[in-house]
Amino acid sequence: MYSSIDDFMKMVHSKSPGEVEFHQAVHEVTSSLWGLLQEQPHYIHAGVLERLIEPERVIIFRVPWRNDRGDVEVNRGYRVEFSSAIGPYKGGLRFHPSVNLSILKFLGFEQVFKNSLTTLPMGGGKGGSDFDPKGKSENEVMSFCQSFMTELCRHIGPDTDVPAGDIGVGGREIGYLFGQYKRIRNEFTGVLTGKGLNWGGSLIRPEATGYGCVYFVQAMLENADNGLGGKIVAVSGSGNVAQYATKKASELGAKVVTLSDSSGSIHDPDGIDADKLAWVMDLKNNRRGRIEEYAGEFGCEYLEGHRPWKIKCEVALP
């Protein structure tokens, strides 16, 4: 039995050295549970904590693909299948240069709890690659996705592991991944969520996360006899979640004044109305442009290399 949280964390550090993000997530969860564990020591004796922090399976694989110059590039792919205690692994795929095992273990670990709280029979997992889709052509993104799925397809399935999108993996990437899965497995199964409506996707799914974020904020404010109406809102990001959070916040009477991407942020004190948001959605979802272009189009401030948190606001949506 571990005598303290620090004692337990020493074991975590020794088994997973250098995984800073994962260590932080484990420490936060353990700290919140420690009082209960002292009252119910049979959980400790049964090794529940040790089982919670150890993924059931970690898959790391090579992803070779060919760029438009004809050169072969190689990235690293991951799938952390963390827990299937109550159902198939479920969690997103992230394509971003920062992706490493520590980040995916941290995300997969938290996904276990998030999915269980839905009361649906879903386990938790996370995956992705250090591939960066930004600046890549359609052909290069397709080439990478097909190579990635050629390996991943043997580890997933509707009753085993059901990936979804995440940062760098939107409807386009999910479409390429699903097409390759279907080609190799010779079956049309719902093994990926986030598909387009034309090949088995769900209505309202693109809006769900952004809307949910704003509904949650609105419920908190209403509990304090307040609301979003008239509030100045700062939104971080400009992808799917940020777009629909901006849309719903505006519909509820707020004024959204910021958006951002990895290059910087825009500050539009006049507010991002429906027409401006439609322009952003075309920029990001179709033209794959940078948010800096918004500043040039609408004559507002662009904060290169900065996140939007220096902008004065009443509600911040990270």
Which sequence positions are flagged as catalytic? Answer: 126
CA atoms within 13 A on the CB side of 89: 25
- The angle subtended at Cα 192 by Cα 244 and Cα 137, nearest 5°, is 70
Is the dihedral angle over the CA atoms 104, 96, 150, 288 positive or is it negative? Answer: positive
Rounded Cα distance, 250 and 233, in Å: 9
Rounded Cα distance, 261 and 238, in Å: 6
Rounded Cα distance, 33 and 43, in Å: 11
Is the dihedral angle over the CA atoms 226, 231, 235, 240 positive or is it negative? Answer: positive
Helix (H) or strand (E) holding 289: none
Q: In what order do the strands lie in the sheet with 124-129?
A: 57-66, 72-83, 124-129, 89-95, 161-164
Where residue 230 falls (left for φ over 0; alpha for ψ -120 to 50; beta otherwise) is: left
Q: Report whether 238 contacts 169 (CB < 8 A).
A: no
The residues that bridge with 264 in the sheet, in sequence order, are 261, 304
Rounded Cα distance, 53 and 155, in Å: 21
